[in-house]
Chains A and B, each alone.
Chain A
């Protein structure tokens, strides 16, 4: 009934048990949760959006799993329905393909970027050389030192940020911060692509090429972005959030340098210039220096309101609402030009990243950039970068008293719009019908 067993095989039996257990232990060796040290940032292969797309009008949001700009490579897909091929005419002009460059040129670019910005596991912003000395508060200091001090882009913080990014952010925001992580394609709005160096919700008092302050990025991480898949990251400790902010800035600087140099190279190719042009490493370094200066400038200060309002009672607040309504309807201000019917009938547009957005519907009680009055102030006064929302203030660094008052009134008005009782009150007491 039972087979006889020849002796001498007991060692085989013992091995059969322990080998799998040992194999399991071997896997412990791979339990480091940082990027593999050999991993490199890949060369950029997706299309670059270099000009505004505001004259292209889509009819609906993009479908899950695909970004409109990425679908330029798949013109036969039917996923985009009536918006199929809408971006086609922009190919080569507003949207350009980095793959037209020769492989060795792209290889040089990648190498230069690696020299300056490092690799995922060991990120850095490293501008070697004496030409990068700047003036700072009367002393002369190397820009690298400033970056470490003001922007916390030192190697240690960046390495920590890289580990956290890989575990928390990578699956949406992608390896180089391109917003094309495996989950990122399947949420809408899509995660931010840092490589254009544009961040929507910034409070810095710059007039153009506005970069966010560290506090802006921190605020996004702490509060999330309501109504999007960007959650609040209060599950992380404060120093972890700081490290992530540094890493995101690093990805942005690196990405934007790559973006700018690619743009230049493609343009040179189109113009048919035969000269070699600047060496790649110098191009990168000068771009990074330019960006670093912009980022540093942004940290200097935020848009400061002139005179924040203090409403002593509901009546005063309502009066502000009434004034705000008048500002809103003012033809020169032209809010209603984009936020049609208080945003309820706003049209779809392409933003600076080639994704589809809609001007905010004020009845929705949803504020992506934050609902605190100061946050709304920043968005109105300074505009929203990348989304065609022009700044209200002529010079965000110094806002006039009248502009300031108008913005605060506008904010009061916007704040009551989602509430039917308040709109009713507006109608009954002040004869303003907002429906």
Chain B
């Protein structure tokens, strides 16, 4: 890393050991980068698991060259068994959601950008911040260990529904499950790991909310904050309110699995061949309510920060103010608020009272509205602008266009009668990957390439960034768009061999093979990104303070920013999107720049 750091004025500085400076650091930037590195490594793991899934789906029954003999012993016919496949898709989703997207968006970008963009020296609670990162490590270790235990890692889907996930043998049989091998110790470890992730996120969210409310620089009113910060703020509120429910649910299932409570075991008991569980006092549907009460806001946690970051990237590279700042903020709040009352749409077919489903349906359809408003505002921002097609901008544009598809496909599911047909089919898989991979992950790529100079003082290579973008864009569309078609045909998800044996879906199997080939391309292309990332760390061209000529506060700090962030405490005079101001020669006007003479003040809100 570059050594061009300066120290903030009036701050006692003392020589810290390497460990205190870079490993057990309380500096939000280091913690953000730690989250970034951890998230990126887990991204590789999650991607490999996905490739495993796609290999099975594309060529069911085939013997995988080289890896097949290593992973699957002869006694299994050198073939992926269904239990292994179930573990793959479960862990792919779990790793991607809890160890990649949430840590990257909230942990990495939240930590890094919040103090810098609001003009603070660091987070409100630096030690809590450090705790928030280090709580991820037990989670990581546990989830990685779970791959090695008897029965394999958790295999009940990331949704971990009882009773397949929660049923345990009566005491004295080891912590094994009568339902499937992966619901034994692997499931217990999965639950523990997620509890740690939850604590980490909750600690982080408290920190963000406090920092944003209390530590803004002089002149930085709430409505002069960049949209990234608004998004982080609202996301943190979502996390703070929703996570406790997940943590409770995880504990309940953990108790069911370890000490024989029956929160999710019905009074009639269960029968797995010879094994019968005793009678219980609970019901499986309880888990679904508790889980989805968190997990629906969770999906908004996974998209709102990206939306905020993309707004900033687009404004910067379109050299134009964000269209409709206040409506954008209201839309973020609307999505988050509505997000709390729609969890039942994951449970329309679950046996929940259908009249309750009606209420959820109306609320769910309404969520399309703030999302649509945001898309229109992004288009408005781009209209009559000056678009610089840099790598961050390309990724942000991909976010906007792909989010349109993801959002529109969501309307089909919100319509409960149609959901009867497409629930638990590939249509859902298509929708969720459009909003998670092709929106959130493109948002992450946009954020990484945009803030890389601020983080590491060097620029990522534009050419390789564009190559990576192009291949990822094309390949991901080839992977996930056809899944809509599979879903319309009714092909169910989580199927080990979907296009085999069923007359209804046999003719769709070639599409699966096509998707798998595209997925392999997509996976390989990510190596370009990683190569670019690590190469640029050491040999990328040095970046100045503001390589993108952006307005927000972080670009006034050195690249990389040092301890205390700014040379002197910033004072904010205007909103963050003053680009192409008439009367100003440069096409941007930073938030901290004094007002040029002769230019009318647009004070922001």
Contact = CB atoms under 8 A, between A and B. Distances in A.
Q: Say if the two chains contact directly (CB < 8 Å).
A: yes
Interface of A: 1-3, 5, 13, 16-17, 19-21, 23-33, 35-36, 39, 42, 61, 63-65, 78-79, 81-82, 120, 166-167, 170-171, 174-175, 180-183, 185-189, 227-229, 235-236, 358
Nearest to A2: B462
Nearest to B470: A17
5 contacts: A5-B463, A30-B64, A42-B75, A187-B272, A228-B273
Contact of A189 (B77, B273, B525): B273
Interface in B171-206: 172-174, 176-178, 180-181, 184
Majority SS at the chain B contact face: loop
Nearest to B513: A28
Q: Identify the interface centre among A13, A19, A180, A182: most chain B CB within 10 Å of its CB.
A: A182
Interface stretch (B78-86, B423-431, B439-447, B482-490): B78-86
Contacts of A27: 55, 58-59, 62, 64-65, 520
Interface in B39-73: 55, 58-65, 68
Interface in B95-151: 150-151
A188 B181 contact: no
Given A3-B463, A28-B59, A171-B82, A20 B520 contact: yes
B528 A16 contact: yes
B516 A64 contact: no
B94 to A, nearest CB: 21
A21 B77 contact: no
Contact of B524 (A20, A26, A78): A20
B471 A189 contact: no
A19 B524 contact: yes
A96 to B, nearest CB: 21
B174 A35 contact: no
Majority SS at the chain A contact face: loop
A174 B78 contact: no
A182 B83 contact: yes
Contacts of B467: 13, 16
Contact of A24 (B74, B169, B516): B516
A20 B172 CA distance: 50
Given A20-B520, A30-B59, A30-B64, A185 B181 contact: yes
Given A5-B463, A64-B178, A188-B178, A79 B524 contact: no
Nearest to A32: B62
Contacts of A183: 81-83, 180-181
B135 to A, nearest CB: 31
B461 A3 contact: yes
B88 to A, nearest CB: 14
B273 A170 contact: no
Contact of A21 (B55, B62, B178, B521): B521
Given A31-B62, A65-B151, A188 B273 contact: yes
B548 interface: yes
B81 A181 contact: yes
B267 interface: no
B303 to A, nearest CB: 28
A30 B77 contact: no
A170 B77 contact: yes
Contacts of A63: 169, 173-174, 176
A188 B55 contact: no
Nearest to A358: B274
A39 B78 contact: yes
B541 interface: yes
Contacts of B500: 167
B74 A17 contact: no
Contacts of A42: 74-75
Contacts of A2: 390, 462
Given A174-B75, A188-B275, A358-B274, 16 more contacts: A21-B517, A24-B520, A30-B62, A32-B62, A32-B63, A61-B275, A63-B174, A65-B150, A78-B174, A171-B76, A175-B76, A181-B76, A183-B82, A186-B181, A187-B273, A227-B273
A61 B274 CA distance: 8
B78 A36 contact: yes
B11 interface: no
Contacts of B355: none
A175 B75 contact: yes
A65 B390 contact: no
A46 to B, nearest CB: 11
B467 to A, nearest CB: 6
Nearest to B524: A20
A161 to B, nearest CB: 14
Contacts of A29: 65
Given A24-B521, A28-B59, A39 B74 contact: yes
A63 to B, nearest CB: 4
B461 to A, nearest CB: 6
B413 interface: no
Contacts of B65: 26-27, 29-30
Nearest to B152: A182
A329 to B, nearest CB: 27
Contact of A3 (B271, B462, B497, B518): B462
Nearest to A166: B77
Given A3-B463, A174-B75, A182 B273 contact: no
Contacts of A32: 62-63
Nearest to A357: B274
Contact of B77 (A175, A188, A229): A175
Contacts of A181: 75-76, 81
Contacts of A79: 173-174, 176
A235 B521 CA distance: 34
A64 B177 contact: yes
A17 B523 CA distance: 11
Interface string B193-237: 000000000000000000000000000000000000000000000
Contacts of B274: 61, 188-189, 228, 358
Contacts of A236: 501
Contacts of B275: 61, 64, 188
A182 B76 contact: yes
B83 A23 contact: no
Nearest to A65: B176
Contacts of A20: 520-521, 523-525
A16 B78 CA distance: 31
Given A42-B75, A65-B151, A235-B501, A16 B172 contact: no
Nearest to A18: B521
Contacts of A228: 273-274
B547 interface: yes
B273 A81 contact: no
Contacts of B58: 27
A61 B83 CA distance: 23
A23 B459 contact: no
A265 to B, nearest CB: 23
Contacts of A187: 272-273
Nearest to B79: A166
A2 B390 CA distance: 8
Given A166-B61, A182-B84, A16 B471 contact: yes
Contacts of A65: 150-151, 174, 176, 181, 184
B83 A17 contact: no
B60 A33 contact: yes
A109 to B, nearest CB: 18
Q: Identify the interface centre among B174, B176, B177, B502: most chain A CB within 10 Å of its CB.
A: B174
Contacts of B501: 235-236
A1 B548 contact: yes
Closest 7 CB pairs of A and B: A33-B61, A20-B524, A24-B517, A64-B176, A63-B173, A24-B520, A188-B274
Q: Identify the interface centre among B176, B274, B497, B547: most chain A CB within 10 Å of its CB.
A: B274
Contacts of A186: 83, 151, 176-177, 180-181
Contacts of A64: 151, 169, 173-174, 176-178, 181, 184, 275
A26 B55 CA distance: 12
Nearest to A176: B75
Contacts of A39: 74, 77-78
